[in-house]
Structure 1
């Protein structure tokens, strides 16, 4: 994997999380103005496919769905899953590079 490939992956990750943040922002605006909302299932699915960082940032900065259960717990579980997957992936890549 080249440095350019790594930068492409990082850029895609950042773009996905910016998109997820914007979806949470739009849902917060919809809540304030009594417009049609984005389903919790969709919000959690976006977090699960890689946008958990954007989802958590939106939740904290926008104070959106901070008290809603089980949404909050499910999002927390997704973050833990992503952290564990990242650690396992980095360990596996480290073994490949070193071995």
Structure 2
């Protein structure tokens, strides 16, 4: 059971971060085409669970980098995730 969790967790975590990255790219695309956008609330929620993908998406797509809420929240989420990984591995 524990082996399954150790195997499954990284796969799920990578998937969530991939979705996060993709949503930032999709929202940037929709912004350029003046289409219906993904809400900031949704982007922040996915950023909470997949902050590495969100941070990469913000930088790669140059999206939401000027908004203070995103500029400070997403790196904070990433920092919390890194601290949790370090804490779990001790």
The TM-score normalised by the length of structure 2 is 0.88
Partner of 1:15: 15
Q: Report the 3-state secondary structure (helix = DSSP H, G, I; strand = E; otherwise coil) of the residue aligned with 1:12.
A: helix
- Greater relative contact order (Cα < 8 A, sep 6+): 2
Partner of 2:51: 52
| Residues matched between the structures, number | 89
Write the distance in 2 (CA, Å) between the matches of 1:5 and 1:86.
Answer: 15
Partner of 1:88: 87
CA RMSD of aligned residues (A): 1.3
Q: Report the 3-state secondary structure (helix = DSSP H, G, I; strand = E; otherwise coil) of the residue aligned with 1:65.
A: coil
Write the distance in 2 (CA, Å) between the matches of 1:80 and 1:16.
Answer: 17
The structure with more radius of gyration: 1
The TM-score normalised by the length of structure 1 is 0.81
Runs of 4+ in 1 over 2 A off after TM superposition: 4-7
